[in-house]
Structure 1
């Protein structure tokens, strides 16, 4: 164990000890308050249930007098809150009511002594362990944590945060320990300043204080010549992240030692590479982004020019005021050719087969270009060519067909973890990448089979199946990328037959997906969704300021503090959401129970559940009435472990019998193979095997009921209901849906 792991272990143990002490403090405080309520029932009445009784007692005058004194002093000396509270209570005790003073002293002084004896010296505010006010057991720290989490989720500015705090504080009983400003909450939560800001002159490269307007050396006052740099305390940030994920890291270490790659992550430790007791330097793997960004950072011609491909020497043609890239055999650029071309362009200051000069990445990346370039399928496929052909097909439809299609897309149902559904094609102006993905993978083929000519429908299926194969992992083992490459190559060759002047550079980049899949992995792990979400978060949190750096670092400090204090709830596979119904409410449970168990007591032997967690995914049943419009109960399953034949059906309920988990599923039999739709197409031989493993035609009514162990349930399915059959496709990858 090295010094970092030892230090993290110590901090993790201290963190658990502080949690245990806080829990003990809360329990002790609750017992004391309950005891005092029994001794002084008139003084500790609930503020909600006994408001009228308290108003009639003589104690109300004393409390008003005490509150007035406290308010006057609180406005002048906020930092002396605890001592002032004791002082006012002593005055009340001497002059008005002895019981109130003694009771208040017991609540505050005794609890503070005990908490100081039990808690660690972590530099936190002493008032954080106190109740928010007299009539609650909630601590100030817990309340402020919850408030800050809600404030961050609401993306409200500092000004509005202070306004909310003032409003909340004005409605609380006096005295209270609620902070009145956002800065006080940050100090209470222990938000660390993880970034320092400095200014750098772009002319002379001098570092100087960011508060200075001009550079001390060259005296330039031009703001465009000064750059602000934010330096982060990387060691503290990494330690905080590792401390928060310490339990997960330990769990992952156990899997590595056992070589248990259940999630098929194919990480380096599972490849039997010995990394213990060896120093490994950080490898900068590659660069990704949309086409303009990659062209800029690689110092390459833009994506609408000749020889603009970073991977091969395709030239392109200028047709109809557009640059078109028709299908041709790939002549790949080697790393040596790429390096020579960039150096030659740098020397001659000219365009050499797309090279405009050397790139800054030459001294940064550990992998040579162009191998280090990772194509972003979010921009190239989802927001690029997939969106283009969808709109092209939509324009080819008749008006009545468009209306019918839009209604079907708006009514399409998905499992509960799909945050974005499908947007109708008449509202595609501001479509999101996830919406295009859901339409491409799960909605396009089921809804288009009766609207397009058979040959064009089969040609579209080539593209959909190819992208799904590359997106969803090793469906056909090591041959997955080969099958996908054959499908897309045929799609690319015949593209002009169905789409006019729609062969841009983004279509050509699909030809390199097979190689990228082999070297970098599935598309579901390579999209720029995270970066896009980060940019969206910045745009929603700048609140009118022009200084984005200050805004990013300010909110990052708060978010990191909140995440560090979060308690990660482990998701445990098993039954979830016990039903209020009994096994006797279902006629078939007697027969099922007799086949599984020898006892005669059905009610005590079997328990009914509405939901179930399998492989960290939640599955619903028909008896779960709060599912609304989501369909998380239609599944693909098998009758035995390792069975070749898969079935499809609707989960009616889950039950546990003799500590074994079961599901009762209404089985829908396969009516015909999906490839039968393409029997008359010239693409039939290419589509048959892959499409029959992804799309299924089922009978509309169930034929029987299966009792299945939950271990044999594979995944969720998406169902499109037709007139006399169900068009079903299974979810092959859960990576981008949560």
Structure 2
């Protein structure tokens, strides 16, 4: 165990100890309050009932007394009430109500001294452990944590956060320990300043204080010549992240030791590579982004110019005021040719086959260009050519067909973990990449089979199947990329037959997907979804400020603090959500139980469940009534481990018998092969094998009930209901759907 793991272990143990102590203190405080309410019920009732009687008369006599009571209340509440009882017993019954009334009035008076005594500015443990006010057991720290989480999820600015705090504080009983500003909350939560800001002169490379307007050396006052640099405390950030994920890291270490790659991550430790007690070199693998970004950082001609491909020497043609890239055999650029071209362009200050000069990546990347360029399928496929052909097909349809298609798309149902469904094509202006992906993979072929001519429908299937093969992993083993390349090549060759002047540079880049799949992996692991989400988060949180760097670092400090305090719930495979029904409520359970167990006590032997977690994915059943419109109960399964034949059906319920988990599934038989739709097409021989492994035509009614072990359930399915059959496709990759 190295020093970092040892330090993390110590911090993790201290964190658990503090959490245990806080829980014990809360329980003890609650018991004391309950005991005090039983001993002094009349005192508490009269305090609330006579808060305004004769206040001015006795206020001067009780100010100092009440301050002492309130401050000592959190140090020793039992002793407080003893002092209070001794004080009140010295007065006769006539003055008793007057004193209590004055005491109650003083509680609702906004005393500055009391607020200073209970201020949370210092962020100390003593202040954070205090209750929010007299009439609650909720601590100030817990309340402020929940408030800050909601404030961050709502993306409200600092000004509005302070306004909400002021409003909440004004509605609480006084005195209270609620912070009045966001700065006080940050101090209470222990938000660390993980970034330091400095200015760098771009002319002389001098570092100076960011508060200075001009460079001390060259005295430049041009703002474009000064860059702001934010330095992060990487050691603290990594330690906080590792501390938060410590339990997950330990769990992953157990899997690595057992070489148990259940999730099929294909991570380095599961490849029989010894990473312990050995030094390994970390290489900078590649660069990715949309076409303008890649062209800019590679110092290459933009994507609408001649010879704009980084991988090959395709020139392109100018047709109809557009640059078109028709299908042709690829003449690839080698790493040596790429390097020579960039150096020649740098020397001659001219465009040399797309090169505009050398790039800064030459001194950064460990892989040579163009091999280090990773095509981003989010922009090239989903927001690029896929979106273009979908809109082109939509324009070819008749108005009544368009309306029918939009209704079907809006009504299509998905599993519960699909955060974005399918957007109708009449609302495609601001479509998201995930929406195009869901339409391309799960909605386009099921809904278009009756709307398009057979040849155009088969030609569209070439593109959909090719992208799904490259996206979803090794479906056909090492031949997956070869099959996808054959499908796309034929799609590219015949593209002009169905789409007019729709062969841009993004279509050509698809021809390099096969090589990229072989060298970099599946498309589901290469998209820029994370970067796009980060940019979207920045745009939604700047709140009108021009200083994006300050905004990013400010909210990052808060988010990291909140994440560090979150308790991660481990997801354990197994039954979930016990049903209120009993096995006797189902007629077939007696027969099923007798075939699985020798006992006669059905109720105690079998337990019914509504949901089940398998491979970190939740599956629903028909008896789960809170599923709303989601369909997470239609699955692909087999009857035995390693069986070649797969079945499809609807999960009616889950049950446990003799510590073995089962599912009762209504089996829908395959009606015909999906490839039968393309028998009259010239693309039939290319489509038959891959499309029959992804899309299925099932009978609409179930034919029998299968009792299946939950281990034999493979994945969820997307179902499109037709007039006399079900058009079904299974989910092959879950990595982008969460």
TM-score (norm 1): 0.91
Distance 1:64 1:304, change over 3 A: farther
Q: 1:77 to 1:671 in 2, by over 3 A?
A: closer
1:650-703 Cα shifts (integer Å, max 9, x gaps)? 111111112211111111100000001011111111111110110000000111
Change in CA separation of 1:78 and 1:28 when aligned onto 2, cut-off 3 Å? closer
Residues 89/185 of structure 1: CA separation in 2 closer, same or farther (3 Å cut): farther
Residues 33 and 673 (structure 1), Cα distance of their counterparts in 2 relative to 1, 3 Å cut: same
Are the aligned partners of 1:609 and 1:655 in contact in 2 as well (CA < 8 Å)?
Answer: yes
Q: Distance in 2 between matches of 1:345 and 1:495?
A: 34
- In structure 2, do the counterparts of structure 1 residues 107 and 141 end up closer, same or farther at CA, with 3 Å as the change threshold? farther
**Partner Cα distance (2:78, 2:542) in 1:** 31
Report the Cα offset of residue 595 of structure 1: 1.4
SS of structure 2 residue aligned to 1:664: strand
Question: Are the structure 2 counterparts of residues 164 and 123 from structure 1 closer, same or farther at C-alpha, using a change threshold of 3 Å?
Answer: closer
Between 106-115 and 368-377, report the one with greater CA deviation: 106-115
Q: Give the deviation of 1:48 after TM superposition.
A: 12
Task: Return 248-257 or 542-551, whichever deviates more.
Answer: 248-257
Residues 1:171 and 1:121: Cα distance change in structure 2 (over 3 Å):
closer
Instruction: Say which is worse superposed, 399-408 or 247-256, in terms of deviation.
Output: 247-256
Secondary structure at 1:452 match in 2? coil
1:395-417 deviation digits (Å, cap 9, x = unpaired): 11111111111111011111111
Secondary structure of the residue that 2:332 maps to in structure 1? coil
Q: Is the 8 A contact 2:637 2:713 kept in 1?
A: yes
Structure 1 residues 202 and 462: CA distance shift in structure 2, 3 A = same
CA distance in 1, matches of 2:600, 2:684: 56
Deviation at 1:598, TM superposition (A): 1.7
Q: Which residue number in structure 2 is paired with residue 497 of structure 1? A: 497
Distance (whole Å) between structure 2 residues aligned to residue 631 and residue 341 of structure 1: 54
Q: Are residues 341 and 168 of structure 1, via their aligned partners in 2, closer, same or farther at CA, if it must alter by over 3 Å?
A: same
1:271-316 Cα offsets, whole Å, 9 max, x none, are 1112211222331111000000000000000001111111111111
SS class of match (1:47): helix
CA distance in 1, matches of 2:114, 2:253: 39
Q: Is the Cα–Cα contact under 8 Å of residues 89 and 104 in structure 1 kept in the other structure?
A: no
Deviates more, 1:538-547 or 1:41-50: 41-50
The yes-or-no answer on 1:19 pairing with 2:26 is no
Q: Secondary structure at the match of 1:126?
A: helix
Task: Rate the CA distance shift 1:219–1:441 in 2: closer, same or farther, 3 A.
Answer: same
Residues of 1 paired with 2:251 and 2:624: CA distance? 32
User: For the residues of structure 2 that align with 1:518 and 1:702, how far apart are their CA atoms?
Assistant: 41
Q: How many residues align?
A: 738
- From the superposition, tell whether residues 50 and 101 of structure 1 become closer, same or farther in structure 2 (CA, over 3 Å): closer
Query: Mean alpha-carbon deviation: is it higher for 495-504 or for 292-301?
Result: 495-504
Kept in 2, the 8 Å contact 1:70–1:88? The answer is no
Distance in 1 between residues matched to 2:235 and 2:87, nearest whole Å: 45
Would you say the 8 A contact 2:286–2:365 is kept in 1?
Answer: yes
Report the alpha carbon displacement of residue 385 of structure 1 after superposing the two structures with TM: 0.3
Note the C-alpha offset of 1:115: 22
Distance in 2, matches of 1:602 and 1:61, equals: 73
Do the aligned residues in 1 keep the contact of 2:58 with 2:102 (CA within 8 Å)? no
Once the two structures are overlaid, the 10-residue window that deviates more, 161-170 or 249-258, is 249-258
Q: Distance in 1 between matches of 2:733 and 2:634?
A: 16
**Cα deviations across residues 105-159 of structure 1 (Å, max 9, x unaligned)?**
9999999999999999998342101111111111111111111000000000001
CA-to-partner distance for each residue in 1:213-241, whole Å, 9 max, x for gaps? 11222222222221111111111111111
Question: What value does the CA root-mean-square deviation take over the aligned residues?
Answer: 5.4
Match of 2:239 in 1: 239
Range moving further from structure 2, 272-281 or 426-435:
272-281
Contact 2:195-2:232 within 8 A present in 1 as well: yes
Contact 2:204 2:218 (8 Å CA) reproduced: yes
Change (3 A) 1:235 1:586: same
In structure 1, the residue matched to 2:273 is: 273
Partner of 1:197: helix, strand, or coil?
A: strand
Q: Distance in 1 between matches of 2:128 and 2:91?
A: 25
Counterparts of 1:392 and 1:305 in 2: how far apart (Å)? 24
| Paired residues of 1:345 and 1:352 also in contact (CA < 8 A) | yes
Q: CA deviation at 1:68?
A: 14
CA contact (8 A) 1:124 1:190 kept: no
| CA drift at 1:611 | 1.1
Tell me: CA distance 1:9–1:97, structure 2 relative to 1, closer, same or farther (3 Å): farther
Residues 470, 37 of structure 1: CA spacing in aligned structure 2 closer, same or farther, 3 A cutoff? same
* Pairing 1:701–2:701 present: yes
Structure 1 unmatched ranges of 5 or more = none
The 1:112/1:675 distance shift into structure 2, 3 A limit, reads farther
Q: Conserved in 1, the CA contact under 8 Å of 2:52 and 2:101?
A: no
Q: Relative to 1, partners in 2 of residues 1:734 and 1:95: Cα closer, same or farther, differing over 3 Å?
A: farther
2:599 and 2:49 map into 1 onto residues whose CA distance is 50
| Cα distance change of structure 1 residues 115 and 208 upon mapping to structure 2, 3 Å threshold | closer
Contact 1:194/1:557 (8 A) holds in 2: yes
Partner SS, residue 92 of structure 2: helix
Q: Shift of the alpha carbon at 1:580?
A: 1.5
Runs of 4+ in 1 over 6 A off after TM superposition: 45-65, 67-123
In the alignment, is the contact (CA less than 8 A) between 2:119 and 2:179 conserved in 1?
A: no
Moved more, 199-208 or 529-538: 199-208
Query: 8 Å contact 1:541–1:551 — kept in the other structure?
Result: yes
What is the CA distance between 1:444 and its match in structure 2? Answer: 0.2
- Decide which moves more: 6-15 or 625-634: 6-15
Q: How does 1:521-532 map to 2 (within 5 A)?
A: 521-532=521-532
Q: CA deviation at 1:2?
A: 1.6
Q: 1:593 to 1:225 in 2, by over 3 A?
A: same
The change in CA–CA distance for 1:270 and 1:584 in structure 2 (over 3 A counts) is same
Secondary structure of the 1:421 match is: coil
Unaligned runs of 5+ in 2: none
Distance 2:544 2:78 in 1: 32
Does the 8 Å CA contact 2:118/2:177 hold for their aligned counterparts? no
Over 3 Å counting, the alpha-carbon distance change for 1:469 and 1:115 in structure 2 is farther
Quote the Cα distance in structure 1 between the aligned partners of 2:108 and 2:278: 55
The range that moved more, 139-148 or 84-93, is: 84-93
SS in 1 for 2:48: coil
Distance verdict in 2 for CA 1:203–1:43, change over 3 Å: farther
Q: How has the CA–CA distance of structure 1 residues 140 and 80 changed in structure 2, closer, same or farther, with 3 Å as cutoff?
A: farther
SS for the counterpart of 2:330 is coil
- Counterparts of 2:117 and 2:525, CA distance in 1: 50
Output aligned runs, 1:390-409, within 5 Å.
390-409=390-409
Q: Secondary structure at the match of 2:24?
A: helix
Is the 8 Å Cα contact of residues 51 and 104 (structure 2) preserved in structure 1?
A: no
TM-score, normalised relative to structure 2: 0.91
Distance 1:75 1:299, change over 3 A: farther
TM-fit CA distance, 1:50: 14
Structure 1 pair 193/62, CA: closer, same or farther in 2 (3 Å)?
A: same
Query: C-alpha distance in 2, partners of 1:224/1:290?
Result: 26
For residues 166-207 of structure 1, the C-alpha deviation after alignment (integer angstroms, 9 at most, x for no partner) is: 111111112211111100000000000000011111222211
CA offsets per residue over residues 53-86 of structure 1, 9 Å max, x none? 9999999998999599989999999999999999
Q: Which stretch shifts more, 381-390 or 133-142?
A: 133-142
Distance 2:145 2:92 in 1: 33
* Alpha-carbon distance between aligned partners in 2 of 1:123 and 1:34, rounded to the nearest angstrom: 28
- Cα pair 1:578 1:607 within 8 Å, conserved: yes
Counterparts of 1:575 and 1:222, CA distance in 2: 65
Once residues 123 and 93 of structure 1 are traced to their aligned partners in structure 2, the CA distance between those partners, rounded to angstroms, is 44
1:21 CA drift (Å): 1.5
1:30 deviates by 2.1
Deviations 1:432-464 (A, max 9, x none): 100000000000000000011111111100100
Structure 1 pair 73–547 and aligned structure 2 pair: CA distance change class (3 A): farther
CA deviation after TM superposition for structure 1 residue 646, in Å: 0.7
